[in-house]
């Protein structure tokens, strides 16, 4: 449910997800160890190659800020188990690579300095830890390895390690705004992770922090966050993945639930050297406005290169989004579902008595607005702040990608479109 705790998050609306790790060096997919059934030995050779020569967290933060993103979530540990920070509980970490750096700390310092809220992604799955049960993960790289079959695994030992690492992140890195746990298979969800221990630490060390819903769920399964009686660890927001829900997400009581669509720029989370199927700038913008119009957030993913830079198409996309946001951000931040139904030509968002309209379709004619003229106090074009003089309630001539503000009163849902004179 929306609350004071989630207010900053719901007002932010637009964030950056960052998937960067050993897998980025292969440049195919963050699941590559699993997809190719790579042995630890093969995969771990990457550690010696991780130099991160061009990694500059300030550059990342500047790109996110310019794009208009208000929060960012970075992979502290992905499924491969490699820690992008100086964990005292393992040697399998970035500080032991040639880079010798604590990427989490650098990420946090730079993004905080840029005024961006910070979060860490932490994988519940761990393909490296000897006690992580490969049978629990149908995609575990060792699942077809006969040598791995007879291995004694002590799951409690893994859980102790995991809880210990979460404690490190909660206590050694200052205030964290989000922890993004990922993810739970249906048969390995909720209680499997001894989540109450995690929640107790969160309440003790980072009581303001938000968590996603994936201690119980995944991209498609929301866990109990939508139930009338969510569990203690149901999460503060739902995390639909690579899809936008058809309508605002509400719980069983009909109350809006904060949510965030996580979406890749191209077809991969981790860096892929040949994937050039980047979404267009206008598709991302439309998607962002769509999320806001349905009461949700968009967290757009970046997969940095092996050396730690943002690729050219990534930078271009972020820069173009930022140009649009600089003019139109007002229709995104602090806005939510409008009381009016979606118009044919685009989307409405709303903040208090202000209705925002984003024109997304080309048209040969004016754009009808389902608000009687008498109720519109003033109508402004966002790009230049100039008041639009509507000669009557039909006559708003508009252009694609332009946003308008209507200051109006007392609009009710489904207000009938007045008959043309
Ligand atoms: C998960 C990760 O596996 C992925 O690598 C990435 O980090 C993404 C943000 O989150 O993706 C998932 C998780 C669960 C499902 C699909 C993708 N699922 O259960 O279908």
Contact 213, 223 (CB under 8 A): yes
Answering whether pTM is above 0.95, one says: no
- Average pLDDT value over all residues in the chain: 90
Name the residue at shortest CA distance from atom 17 of ligand 1. 219
> DSSP state, 13?
-
Local structure of 392: helix, strand or coil: coil
Give which of 379, 366, 367 is closest to 408, Cα–Cα: 379
Distance from residue 375's CA to the centre of ligand 1 (Å) = 46
* pLDDT above 80 (res 183): yes
Distance from residue 336's CA to the centre of ligand 1 (Å) = 27
**pLDDT score, position 390:** 57
**pLDDT score, position 125:** 96
**pLDDT score, position 393:** 40
Give the mutation target among 31, 122, 218, 271 for probing the ligand 1 site: most ligand atoms within 8 A of CB.
218
Name the residue at shortest CA distance from atom 7 of ligand 1. 269
Q: What is the mean pLDDT of residues 180-203?
A: 95
Please give the full DSSP string across 164-220, using - where no structure is assigned: HHHHHHHHHSS--SEEEEE--BTTB-GGGG-HHHHHHHHHHH-TT-EEBSTTT--SS
Contact 122, 169 (CB under 8 A): yes
Give the mutation target among 84, 241, 264 for probing the ligand 1 site: most ligand atoms within 8 A of CB.
241
* pLDDT above 70 (res 241): yes
Q: What is the mean pLDDT of residues 341-369?
A: 83
**pLDDT score, position 161:** 98
Ligand 1 is surrounded, with C-beta below 6 A, by 30-31, 182-183, 218-220, 241, 262, 269
For the CA atoms of 28, 32, 37, 38, the dihedral, rounded to the nearest 10 degrees, stands at: 80
pLDDT digits (tens, 9 = 90+) for 362-395: 766 667 777 766 677 777 878 877 777 655 444 4
Contact 374, 348 (CB under 8 A): no
- Provide the CA 156 distance to its chain's centre, in angstroms: 30
Report the nearest atom of ligand 1 relative to the CA of 121: 7
Burial class (CB in 10 A: 0-12, 13-18, 19+), 352: exposed
Q: What is the mean pLDDT of residues 268-294?
A: 97
Q: Output the CA–CA distances (angstroms, integers) from residue 402 to 283, 297, 324, 361, 384, in the order listed.
A: 14, 21, 9, 10, 10
For helices 57-67 and 103-113, what crossing angle results, to 10°? 40
Give the mutation target among 119, 137, 182 for probing the ligand 1 site: most ligand atoms within 8 A of CB.
182
Residues in contact with 93: Cβ distance below 8 Å, sequence separation at least 6, in sequence order: 82, 83, 84, 85, 86, 87
Lowest mean pLDDT among 237-251, 286-300, 355-369: 355-369
**pLDDT score, position 373:** 67
Q: How far apart are CA 31 and CA 182, in angstroms?
A: 13
């Amino acid at each position: 449910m929306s609350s004071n705790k989630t207010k900053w998050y719901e007002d932010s609306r637009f964030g950056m997800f960052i998937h960067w790790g050993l897998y980025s060096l292969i440049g195919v997919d963050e699941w590559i160890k699993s997809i190719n059934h790579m042995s630890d030995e093969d995969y771990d050779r990457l550690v010696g190659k991780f130099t991160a020569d061009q990694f500059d967290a300030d550059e990342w933060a500047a790109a996110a800020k310019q794009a208009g993103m208000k929060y960012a979530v970075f992979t502290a540990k992905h499924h491969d188990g490699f820690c992008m920070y100086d964990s005292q509980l393992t040697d399998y970490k970035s500080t032991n690579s040639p880079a010798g750096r604590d990427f989490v700390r650098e990420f946090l310092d730079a993004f905080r300095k840029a005024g961006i809220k910070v979060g860490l992604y932490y994988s519940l799955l761990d393909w490296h830890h000897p006690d992580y049960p490969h049978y629990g993960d149908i995609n575990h790289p060792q699942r077809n390895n006969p040598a791995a079959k007879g291995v004694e695994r002590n799951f409690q030992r893994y859980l102790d390690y995991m809880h210990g690492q979460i404690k490190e992140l909660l206590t050694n890195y200052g205030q964290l705004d989000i922890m993004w746990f990922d993810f739970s298979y249906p048969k390995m969800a909720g209680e499997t992770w001894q989540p109450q221990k995690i929640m107790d630490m969160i309440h003790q060390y980072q009581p303001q922090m938000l968590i996603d819903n994936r201690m119980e769920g995944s991209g498609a399964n929301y866990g109990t966050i939508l139930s009338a009686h969510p569990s203690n660890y149901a999460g503060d927001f739902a995390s639909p993945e690579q899809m936008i829900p058809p309508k605002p997400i509400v719980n069983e009581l009909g109350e809006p639930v904060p949510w965030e669509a996580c979406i890749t720029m191209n077809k991969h989370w981790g860096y892929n050297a040949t994937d050039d199927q980047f979404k267009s700038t206008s598709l991302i913008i439309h998607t962002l406005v769509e999320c806001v119009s349905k009461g949700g957030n968009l967290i757009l993913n970046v997969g940095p290169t092996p050396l730690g830079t943002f690729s050219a198409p990534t930078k271009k996309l972020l820069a173009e989004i930022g140009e649009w946001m600089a003019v139109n951000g007002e229709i995104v931040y602090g806005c939510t579902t409008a009381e009016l139904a979606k118009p044919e030509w685009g989307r409405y968002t709303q903040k208090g008595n202000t209705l925002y309209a984003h024109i997304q379709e080309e048209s040969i004619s004016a754009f009808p607005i389902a608000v009687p003229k008498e109720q519109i106090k003033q109508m402004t074009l966002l790009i230049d702040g100039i008041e639009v003089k509507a000669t009557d309630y039909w006559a708003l001539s508009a252009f694609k990608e332009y946003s308008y503000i209507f200051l109006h009163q007392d609009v009710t849902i489904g207000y009938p479109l007045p008959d043309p004179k």
